[in-house]
Amino acid sequence: KPRIFSGIQPSGGLTLGNYLGALKRFVEKQDEGIETIYCLVDLHAITVWQDPDKLRQQTREGAAAFIAAGIDPARSILFNQSQVTAHAELGWIFNCVARMGWMGRMTQWKDKAGKHAEAASLGLFAYPSLMAADIMAYHATMVPVGEDQKQHLELTRDIAIKFNNDFKVDFFPVVEPIIEGAATRVMSLRDGTKKMSKSDPSDQSRINLTDDADQIAAKIRKAKTDPEPLPETVDGLKDRPEARNLVNIYAALAGHTVDQVIGDFAGAQFGTFKPALADLAVAKLSPITTEMNRLMKDPAEIDRILGKGAERAEAIARPIVDQVYDILGMIRSR
């Protein structure tokens, strides 16, 4: 029986990229009736320093975003990672299975550590190993993510295969990334070659799920573009990363194909296209923002939902991680 796991870091407020690349997909999978486990991965977030009060706030806000977007805590399991210790336990074990060289090749590591790898946290280096643990602790086989996480999922597969080989077991399953839709890689509004990220220092680079209609409209109006009108065919977007990004966002929000959007706006100036995109973004996002704000008025209720989700997650992960200890030859006698 297929089981889906995925997570989002409470390392900032959620962005349009997180929504289109991840959250929207999470809801679709839940609504298809697949068993879905979704996590605010707070242990991942602290791979770069987080202010404790903000981390708490961002975790609750993330949970509110999940629910506002359509995650039903009765149908999906929704929790924060650190409440289920199986993640950290299996993460450590995978640190001992994975190889340094594998981690060193990860583009997220190279991007985030930059030129100062020796000053980055050890946790940031081991990030994919904990991510593999998140998934494998549930024997999940399907993981909806944005394009940027594809490499980490390939590594998850490698870790699972090496574990099975090292201990001559057929224990961990093979995972499949689910990367689908028109916006699997939403780009920064300031730089069409950079991914939109919640941790980008520039707030102008992204649309936050907490932005109001005026902020959304202003950010789209100021979004970087070239001076040409939109092309007549999709091919014409090839060397125009900023234009392509805005068209992809439009398509994803409207639920249209990129072809349809180009058909509708062929030859249009950005002076026409941008306001249309802003209106669409506001129409799609503002109900979510409103619901998030309502949920955020009762943080105790959010904490209760996360606690309940963690109990259900624990019930699945505990026996799996206990079996791992047994496979490793570790005595469990209490």
Binding residues for L-tryptophan are 134
Comparing CB distances to ligand ATP, the nearer of 64 and 321 is 64
Output 297-303 pairs: Cβ under 8 A, ≥24 positions apart.
299/60, 302/60, 302/63, 302/64, 303/60
End-to-end CA distance of the chain: 32
One of 27, 145, 178, 310 touching ligand ATP (CB under 6 A): 145
Encoding tokens for residue 212?
């109001």
Active site residue 219: no
Q: Strands 35-40 and 176-178: what pairing?
A: unpaired
Comparing CB distances to ligand ATP, the nearer of 18 and 289 is 18
What DSSP string runs through 42-101?
HHHHTTS---HHHHHHHHHHHHHHHHHHT--TTTSEEEEGGGSTHHHHHHHHHHTTS-HH
One of 35, 148, 242, 314 touching ligand ATP (CB under 6 A): 148
Contact mark string toward ligand ATP, 20..59, x via CB under 6 A: xxx-------------------------------------
Active site residue 112: yes
Residue 235, by phi and psi: left (phi above 0), alpha (psi -120 to 50) or beta?
Answer: alpha
- Would you say 26 and 170 are in contact if contact means Cβ atoms under 8 Å apart? no
Comparing CB distances to ligand ATP, the nearer of 62 and 324 is 62
CA distances from 46 to 12, 18, 79, 99 (A): 11, 18, 17, 22
One of 13, 73, 128, 146 touching ligand ATP (CB under 6 A): 146
Closest CB to ligand ATP belongs to which residue?
21
Comparing CB distances to ligand ATP, the nearer of 202 and 233 is 202
CA torsion through residues 27, 32, 33, 39, sign: negative
Cβ neighbours for 204, distance < 8 A, ≥ 6 positions apart: 189, 190, 219, 222
Q: Could you tell me which residues are annotated as the binding site?
A: 9-11, 17-18, 134, 146-148, 186, 195-199
Comparing CB distances to ligand ATP, the nearer of 159 and 186 is 186
Q: Does residue number 63 form part of the binding site for ligand ATP (CB under 6 A)?
A: no
Chain CA centroid to CA 93, Å: 24
Q: Could you tell me which residues are annotated as the binding site for ATP?
A: 9-11, 17-18, 146-148, 186, 195-199
- Would you say 30 and 72 are in contact if contact means Cβ atoms under 8 Å apart? yes
One of 8, 64, 155, 321 touching ligand ATP (CB under 6 A): 8
Contact mark string toward ligand ATP, 182..211, x via CB under 6 A: --xxx--------xxxxx------------
Kindly state the number of chain residues that form the binding site for ligand ATP, as judged by CB under 6 A. 22
Give the catalytic positions in this structure.
112, 195, 198
Interacting residues with ligand ATP (CB under 6 A)? 8-9, 11-12, 15, 17-18, 20-22, 145-146, 148-149, 184-186, 195-199
